[in-house]
Structure 1
Amino acid sequence: MDKTTSRGRIILAVFGVVLVLLGLPLTWGGVQLATLGGSWYYLFAGLALIVSGVLIARRRLAGAAVFAVLFAVTIAWSLWEAGLDFWPLVPRVSGPLFMAFLLLLLLPRFPGWTQGAKAPLAMAGLTALLMGGAVALALQPKHVTRHDFTQAVPGKVSAETLAAGNEWREYAHTGKGTRYITADQITPDNVRNLKVAWEFDYGEAPAAATLAEDQNTPTYANGVLYSCTPSNTVNALDAQTGKLLWSYAAKGASPIWQRCRGVTYYEAQPAAGQPPAGQSVGNPPATGGACQARIVMNAIDGRLIELDAATGKPCADFGDNGVVNLNADIGETPPAMYIPTSAPTVMQDKIVVGGWIFDGQKVGEPSGVVRAFDARSGELVWAWDMGKPDVTKLPPAGETYTLGTPNIWSTPAYDLELGLIYLPTGNSTPDFWGAHRRDFDEKYGSSVVALDIATGRERWHFQTVHHDVWDYDVPSQPALYDIPDGRGGTIPALIQTTKQGQIFVLDRRTGQPITKVEERPVPQGAAPGDFLSPTQPFSVGMPQLGVDTLSEAKMWGVSMFDQLYCRIRYRSMRYEGMYTPPGTDTSLMFPSPFGGMNWGSASIDEGRGLLIVNDMRIPRYVKLIPRAIADTMQGGIHGAGIFPQAGTPFAIETDNVMSPLGIPCMEPPFGTMTAIDLNTKKIVWQVPMGTVKDTRLFGTLKVGLPLPIGMPTVGGALTTASGLTFYSGTQDFALRALDTTSGREIWKADLPVGAQMTPMSYIAPNGKQYIVVSAGGARESPIRGSKVIAYALPD
């Protein structure tokens, strides 16, 4: 036997063994999937690989023939299930195509092969070209929707936006919640010239283990940028150089959920007859003593803090030496039970605050009361306790506000002309069981509630989910914008994005829908002892984002193996579409409580009438655990694990449905950005957001390929009058600028780590427009940092 023959025997034997080893898990998984009523393809493919591998190891050409049949069946099955959709084809075809390439190279080594080497080598070359072409295609965005945008009706820039000018004194620029600025120095034509103007390292890289995250959108006024850290340190920076002017360490403490989404700048009313604070934007702070201009912050341990904007010292005339205790009168608040993470809302000399209540813990958690405090003294002005509407300030002595009511953890919006503040509400705790809920819990849960700013009394409410047992609390700040009425006028609208991918457009004067909302039947079958609403509201007059019904064929993975795993997971769960009710079996929920849309909220290009919305698409499972079993199990961190739901018959187990590689078990994209014309109510464009470049498999292995697959998005977008949309909340480490009218990416800057906040902008005293991000780390990345970075055009 010559060496060539010996080498060929070994190579064929190794290749055959590899095929057998690949076929074994496919066969085992294929049996499971077929038993569950799923596709028989994987069982067939596994058996075919085993037979083919055994024959090839024995140098039988029949092994190549068996593989050829498998390959033909694979192509036909893939096209039948996925059509020509690129990403769904990848796990179905890529593995068999690579195996076919290797087999073609090996064909001349079979003893019975008599056709020479040219034909199989030529076919192998063609296969290599196909694989190379697939790689090139993978680098191009898929699932892109673009329509020409023609602005038939001029957009109406609000008076508040015009008055705010080039400053950014509130979380969303103004109380209208549009995240739009009229500054137009940076344009689609020159944005490619943006450079880092300055960086500031705040020295507090968030620890992923504590769920600490930098979600801070800085505030700007009078030449100073105010930024906060996850532990509530406020840093005042020279907005032109990034130089630290002062720092105040509140030392906010919480075992989890450490974050500060922003602070609010407030100018105390200097004298009678002057414009009230919140309307005097664009003017320098009043003079005449300390704390004429103030920084207002919620600390994660339940403190409301005011600082002198000039020095960072606590304002002695506010509360107890600058601090109001938000934990008072709301019930027991052990660490992490009550965490006000969102920036305070300040208007008409009032500070309105709610707070996040730890989900899923027990019946009767701290109250979801909303309170307004005097912005100068810290005295309580009013309280809205939905369970005790007659209690307008402090509860009676020895009592608390109503425990366990739906809370307002996101950011309100307000309309000073109408005198209304709009609250996005959560649920009565715990989230996945509702038989214990009271009439007012049922009325106000997962709603938008309009209160009178002066008195705190309800004017109207609109519910987005009835008897919510899916944790679909309203997560985002409403956006207030006057939309065309079709008759040459406008309607004052409130636009509310939701976790379930619905966008509700309401008349903000009355709460009545402007665009069509239908009550549609939804799946029934409540858990023992609970009940369900027979219908849910669907916003059919607006596009619904990321709400496609899942199926086994839509389960996805990078390879055929993790796709098979995800298909088995799907078939192992009960799923009846949106609003599948939780039960004691494992059910699949999509959209998940992460969204759809979440706290990042929407942005509106007011001049063009375009609503800009980012979303995420991650399936999730839930399972109710009977109390006797649940009490013996360990809990989890927020968002994943076992949550006790004490006081109900069931705990809840919940987590994302992911492949073994940590990839969502559904077809991409996993996150998109969408522009909707508020005149026509149609999608103008939709693009996947983010690549897998900085994704780390198993938490350590960096992918490194800039595949624009569209990843889950966190935070919101900034729009500018020049026609740019800035976004940084992707899972790769980048700040992007998109053309607002087309969605095309026209500039990108690499960040040292990911970012979760909403970018903001201002024009400094030197006349330059700046774009600012705070980069502390992407949601799913173990890589953390602590930098505030400002970009500007060069001189």
Structure 2
Amino acid sequence: MFVPHGVVRPTLNEPFSLATADNTPSTWEAYGHTNSGDRFTNFDQINRTNVKNLKVAWIYHTKYRDSNPGERKQSDVNQNTPLQIGDTLYTCSPNHQIDAIDADTGQMRWQASGNKEAPWWHRCRGLGYYRNATASVGQICRDQIIDANSNDRLRAFDAGNGQLCPEFGHAGEVDLLEGMGVSAPGYYMPTSAPMVARGLIIVGGWIADNLHSDEPSGVIRAYDAKTGSLVWAWDLGNPQLTTAPPEGKTYTRATPNMWSTPSYDDKLGLIYVPLGNQTPDYYGVNRLKASERYSSSVVALDIKTGREKWKFQTVHHDIWDYDLPSQPELVDLSDESGKTVPALLQATKRGELFLLNRATGVPIAPVEERPVPTKGNIAEESLSPTQPFSSGMPRIGGEQFTEAKMWGVTMFDQLACRISFRRHRYDGPMTPIGLDPAIDQPGNAGGLNWGSMTIDSHNGYAYMNDMRLSSEFWLVPRGNWQKVDSRLPTDVDTHGPSPMIGTPYGVVTLPWMSPLMIPCNHPPYGTITAVNLKTRKVVWSVPAGTAEKMGPLGIPSHLPMPVGAPAYAGTSGTAGGLIFFSGFQDYYVRAYDAQTGTTLWQHPLPVGSSATPMTYISPKTGKEYLVVNAGGAGHSPEIGDSIIAFTLP
């Protein structure tokens, strides 16, 4: 327990140099810093030499629960990465309360109220920003903050005073349920930041995973950022429908959705959309033919028309909930002749990294169709005999289990895990679900998830964090579901046991744990990893934090055991040779040497974090700041409301 597992250190001849620094104040105006999703700034005031001197500059408390009283839930963790426009930060709380904060002092500039309680998820991972280039200085809503909230409203605020923009939609709001048909509360809602590109707001939404076979559409829509009017819609089940459905009709129900974040290449005029599955996730009989074509695919859409240019599927007939969770990363690479190739890097819950030409969708790194298990025991399920594996890129986690690889903090729970392994059906990667308990490896959380990656385009490095947790899952015939359902916790969030109404089965999916509530697989349970996109190899990998706040039966150990832990949110990097990450389970923010993975600095947080850090340089003082949203770590009951800024003294 006190020995780091799975550590990879760089070789002596691994090429690396610092990117050219530019400490001119700029903006962090999209969830991933830019619409390419790089999460990388060219600042080096804070660097490998002086990062150890970072101190807290200010702390801002959103107090969003004061206006949204009730029992705190794990779904209340604040996952927002703030935007920085000029001398102001813009952040949103889980209930979509919007706060504008002075970038130097941490003082509130304005605040807009949030939603009522959402039934499943309280999520605001980010906001959008739009500047109306034709508006004059001082004109109302020349600069807009865009929010797609969990009450199914698209809102536009004046960035200067927080007032809703009167010419946007209906008094500043657009109803995202228009054209969706009947939708119970919480069955459709945006959970990720809207993307703003070429004067359009691109919006997808999360569909409740496994509640019913008839749920709202996964349609992707583009709205005019000035007026809120619908410009185009991409309904993959009915591509002839390009705007709103005719009266009495809806967009195609229950199609694969984009709950994560898209990317955009302005030169090619293409939006890159990561898709999930047709609900329910674990039963694929009678799915739409269109859903089978697009499930778990990254799709390139024309920014002007919303029409498809290409697609690449990462899982065929997905019955594992292997949605594409992360933002596609756009990076330019050189081929063997020295020609620049526009590339797209797509991370998956499987731990696969697919490297594609983003102009064509053709793989740059080899992809192989490999045979996979097809011996489920659901007779009517037609499984794909092969699945795509990115053989030309490293796989992050997702190893094949054996009984000998079962782990425990004592010999007793290790023995229990070995017995459990034998009692479960497991045939390696892509083991299909059935009526008997089987091991899902990686589990439905991944692998890599929504935090996405950092791209250092100068060195051609990608930095990422992952989770190495497995699930156990099985189907329960409808006639027996009520017996199972009565024993389930009432706070079901659709990612755990769910009824899958409209199918012959319910589904049970749970983390695969020892009797001491510790994962049965060996550590690390999460890592921070660097991949060289030129050599297509792992440069370094280290466990993501310690088990200081975790332990058997959920009791904190208070011991810095370097086993790594499931690591939520994402990394960010700078030209100072640093990678920042705060999504640990042990309540720290850390800075790593981007070249070696060595920890150079860490600072305790009041609670954990489930948000990606960001950096900016103040246009007033010229200081570089690191900002961390400490709203609670994943799987932790402790929730917070702190936005914390660090700077050099």
TM-score, with normalisation over the residues of structure 1?
Answer: 0.78
Q: Tell me how far 1:153 sits from its aligned partner.
A: 9.1
Q: Which amino acid aligns with 2:561?
A: L
Q: Which residue of 2 aligns with 1:33?
A: none
Give the Cα separation in 1 of the matches to 2:323 and 2:552.
31
Q: Which amino acid aligns with 2:510?
A: D
* Cα-to-partner distance string for 1:293-324 (whole Å, 9 max, x where unaligned): 01001111111111000000100110111111
Give the Cα separation in 2 of the matches to 1:629 and 1:399.
36
Q: 3-state DSSP class of the match of 1:146?
A: coil
Q: Which residue of 2 aligns with 1:32?
A: none
Q: Tell me how far 1:632 sits from its aligned partner.
A: 4.5
* Cα-to-partner distance string for 1:18-51 (whole Å, 9 max, x where unaligned): xxxxxxxxxxxxxxxxxxxxxxxxxxxxxxxxxx
1:715 is aligned, of 569, 581, 588, to 569
Q: Tell me how far 1:209 sits from its aligned partner.
A: 2.9
Q: Which residue of 2 aligns with 1:785?
A: 640
Instruction: Determine if contact 1:640/1:653 at 8 Å carries over to the other structure.
Output: no
Q: Which residue of 1 aligns with 2:98?
A: 234
Quick one: percent identity of the two aligned structures?
A: 47
1:511 is aligned, of 350, 361, 367, to 361
Q: Tell me how far 1:331 sits from its aligned partner.
A: 2.5
Structure 1 stretches lacking a partner, 5+ long: 1-86, 88-137, 272-285
Distance 1:725 1:641, change over 3 A: closer
Instruction: Determine if contact 2:300/2:311 at 8 Å carries over to the other structure.
Output: yes
Give the Cα separation in 2 of the matches to 1:154 and 1:451.
35
Q: Tell me how far 1:545 sits from its aligned partner.
A: 1.1
Give the Cα separation in 1 of the matches to 2:25 and 2:32.
13
Equivalences for 1:69-218 in 2 at 5 Å? 87=1, 138=2, 141-148=4-11, 150=13, 166-204=26-64, 209=73, 211-218=75-82
Q: Which amino acid aligns with 1:575?
A: Y
Q: Which residue of 1 aligns with 2:452?
A: 601
* Cα-to-partner distance string for 1:600-641 (whole Å, 9 max, x where unaligned): 111111222111011111110111111111145426612654
Between Structure 1 and Structure 2, which shows a larger proportion of helix residues?
A: 1
**Number of residue pairs aligned between Structure 1 and Structure 2:** 639
1:761 is aligned, of 600, 603, 615, to 615
Q: Tell me how far 1:647 sits from its aligned partner.
A: 1.5
* Cα-to-partner distance string for 1:236-290 (whole Å, 9 max, x where unaligned): 000001000100013253022101101122111225xxxxxxxxxxxxxx51411
Give the Cα separation in 1 of the matches to 2:134 and 2:216.
37
Distance 1:469 1:165, change over 3 A: farther
Q: CA RMSD in A?
A: 1.9
Q: Which amino acid aligns with 1:141?
A: P
Q: 3-state DSSP class of the match of 1:680?
A: coil
Distance 1:288 1:256, change over 3 A: same
Give the Cα separation in 1 of the matches to 2:12 and 2:101.
39
Q: 3-state DSSP class of the match of 1:642?
A: coil
1:581 is aligned, of 432, 435, 454, to 432
Give the Cα separation in 1 of the matches to 2:451 and 2:9.
23
Instruction: Determine if contact 1:166/1:183 at 8 Å carries over to the other structure.
Output: no
Q: Which residue of 2 aligns with 1:66?
A: none
Q: Which residue of 2 aligns with 1:663?
A: 518
Give the Cα separation in 2 of the matches to 1:208 and 1:617.
27
Q: 3-state DSSP class of the match of 1:462?
A: strand
* Cα-to-partner distance string for 1:192-249 (whole Å, 9 max, x where unaligned): 0000000001123696536222100000001000011011001100000100010001
Q: Which amino acid aligns with 2:209?
A: D
Give the Cα separation in 2 of the matches to 1:495 and 1:576.
28
Q: Tell me how far 1:661 sits from its aligned partner.
A: 2.4
Distance 1:451 1:150, change over 3 A: farther
Q: Tell me how far 1:164 sits from its aligned partner.
A: 10
Q: Which residue of 2 aligns with 1:48?
A: none
Instruction: Determine if contact 2:25/2:622 at 8 Å carries over to the other structure.
Output: no
Q: Which residue of 2 aligns with 1:96?
A: none
* Cα-to-partner distance string for 1:508-567 (whole Å, 9 max, x where unaligned): 000000000000000012422111001000001000011211112211121112112222
Q: Tell me how far 1:144 sits from its aligned partner.
A: 1.1
2:338 is aligned, of 459, 480, 488, to 488
Give the Cα separation in 2 of the matches to 1:373 and 1:151.
46
Equivalences for 1:341-740 in 2 at 5 Å? 341-526=191-376, 527-634=378-485, 637-638=492-493, 641-695=496-550, 697-699=552-554, 701-740=555-594
Instruction: Determine if contact 2:257/2:275 at 8 Å carries over to the other structure.
Output: yes
Give the Cα separation in 2 of the matches to 1:687 and 1:633.
40
Distance 1:413 1:428, change over 3 A: same
Give the Cα separation in 1 of the matches to 2:10 and 2:615.
28
Give the Cα separation in 2 of the matches to 1:471 and 1:259.
20
Give the Cα separation in 2 of the matches to 1:594 and 1:252.
27
Highest RCO, 1 vs 2 (Cα 8 Å, sep ≥ 6)? 2
Instruction: Determine if contact 1:625/1:652 at 8 Å carries over to the other structure.
Output: yes
Structure 2 stretches lacking a partner, 5+ long: none
1:254 is aligned, of 109, 113, 118, to 118
Q: Which residue of 2 aligns with 1:742?
A: 596
Task: Select the structure of larger CA radius of gyration.
Answer: 1
Q: Tell me how far 1:593 sits from its aligned partner.
A: 1.1
Q: Which amino acid aligns with 1:404?
A: A
Q: 3-state DSSP class of the match of 2:89?
A: strand
